[in-house]
Amino acid sequence: MAVLATMSPEQARARKLRRERRNRSVRHAILLLWIGFIMFPIFWMVSTSFKDSGEWVAWPPHWLPHAPTLHNYAQIFAFAKIDTSLSRQAAEQAFSIWKALGDATLVCATAALLALLLGTFLAYSISRFNVGGRYFRHTILTIRMIPPIVVAISILIYYAVLIPFASTAVFGVRISLFDTYVGLILIYTVTTLPFVIWMMLTFIDEVPYTLEHAARLMGAGRITVIRRVVLPLVASGMVVTFLFVFILNWAEFLLALTLTHPEVTTLTVLLNKFQSASEGRLYGPQAAIGTMITIPVVILGMLIQKHLVKGFSFGTIRK
């Protein structure tokens, strides 16, 4: 009190400024530490992707490659037989990334597209007709509370045993979803559908009812109303949702590992296969693939980050 009383307004203001500056510095220091903690594995991965095999597990660690090389990238992007100078006796394990890249793109994009189509219409019906009851929209996401490992084995049994058995018994044809594009696409569609519904709900809820009423009064049927009024207004939301779901699929590992082998291989599964009998894990090529998988995710993430906040806030910060 006495101090305050003897301080001029200028001094008080200067004191307040100093305090604010100090608080800000502390806050930033904590955030920087946290970023360092989060980013270190990614830094290590990128750094390793440019190291030659001798440097992968060197001790003391080489933070940056002493002799930077593109061998790892050359190895994963190789179209043909790997040159022995690159292979370091691991030529037969030097998988090319191209097949997995194709598989992953096909599976992830198709599944995301399917989930988007189904999810958009489901979200529309939930938003407009309260399908599933009042609380359905809040319970949709609970399906994501089940860890994939819990269902992975049961689905494997369905895919590899029960469905083939049943189809043989009933139709006389053996249909197996194990290690097929269809099988993986189906499971990805199902697991990401809740996210699509949840995100599209927030976008569709923002389209005023009266727009649809107006269109219907002018003679438009339900389908025309959805096609010409609702969908154009949520188009940007659909793009965001598609990208988000695509990223989810792109990074999925466990289900792909369990439900495929050896035909269908996604990038995350391929990553796990980089081992050689003589050298153990091939950290360099693994790091190179890891880097390549990460790049599109980072780019897409930056593109949709603004919309993601909107989607994830569950409509609570609606205008």
Binding residues (CB under 8 A) for other proteins: these are 208, 210-211, 213-221, 224, 228-229, 232-233
Q: Work out the widest C-alpha separation in the chain, in whole angstroms.
A: 96
The rounded distance, in Å, linking the Cα atoms of 89 and 75 is 12
Count CB-CB contacts under 10 A for residue 167: 15
The rounded distance, in Å, linking the Cα atoms of 75 and 174 is 38
**Closer CB to other proteins, 179 or 212, in the complex:** 212
Which amino acid, one-letter code, is at 50?
F
Residue with tokens 């006495």: 2
**Closer CB to other proteins, 6 or 210, in the complex:** 210
The rounded distance, in Å, linking the Cα atoms of 247 and 255 is 15
> How far apart are CB 236 and other proteins at their closest, in Å?
11
> How far apart are CB 130 and other proteins at their closest, in Å?
13
> How far apart are CB 197 and other proteins at their closest, in Å?
23
Burial degree of 61 (CB within 10 A; 0-12, 13-18, 19+): exposed
**Closer CB to other proteins, 185 or 225, in the complex:** 225
Residue 303 tokens, joined: 């593109």
H or E element, residue 138? helix 136-139
> How far apart are CB 133 and other proteins at their closest, in Å?
14
**Closer CB to other proteins, 99 or 213, in the complex:** 213
**Closer CB to other proteins, 102 or 208, in the complex:** 208
> How far apart are CB 226 and other proteins at their closest, in Å?
13
Which amino acid, one-letter code, is at 195?
F
